[in-house]
Amino acid sequence: MVLINRFVCRIAAAMPENRQRYALKWLLPASLLAIVCWLLPVSCSRNPNNNSTPGKATPETETGKTNLPATFTATLTVGSGGGFTGATVRYVIPPDGKVTRIRTKVPQDTTFIKQLTTKELTALQQDAQRLRLNQMTFNFPGNLYYFITYADKDLTNTITWGDRSNPAPPDVQDYYNRVMTLVIGEE
């Protein structure tokens, strides 16, 4: 990429001034487009869902299976907040399985927690679909509240509970507890 930029700059410097503007207007963007087109197949040649080398057969590719379900594109976020400080702790689980903890208030930070396995991600996805987290309407936060957010493409749905007079459905609470145990373990 550096060599192409140097080449383009040398061509522009060798041209008369009026042609330099023309070259910079068309040649530089065209060269950048060429670089992007050249890099795109390179970056797409590896499946981001596995650590195999391109073209090398893996047990998943030999059996026709992929590491992640084709339909799993949702990002799940689970967490809790409220109380005297109003702080929240959320655990974000994107489709690639790299769990991140985000804390607000003091200490405020964002930390990588762990990488979930394909089996764990598949189970989370299947349970989220079974519970219809993308469609469920439940918003009864209390002073201390818990939440599950299901975000996929143009849809974001949050289920919030904590009000003692309106508890969350037991299967939602079970799902939340399983996800928290999976992400941070038993405390």
For residue range 63-99, list pLDDT tens digits in order.
434 344 455 789 999 999 999 888 999 999 999 999 9
Cβ-proximal residues to 54 (8 Å cutoff; 6+ apart), any chain: 45, 46
pLDDT over 70, % of the chain: 61
The model's confidence at residue 117, banded by pLDDT at 50, 70 and 90, is very high
The CATH class of 75-184 is alpha beta
Amino acid at the residue 131: L
CA dist 72 → 23, 67, 68 (Å) = 45, 11, 7
Mean pLDDT of the region 3-14: 56
What pLDDT is attached to residue 62? 40
Helices (H), strands (E): how many in the chain? 5, 7
How many other β-carbons are positioned within 10 Å of the β-carbon of residue 16? 8
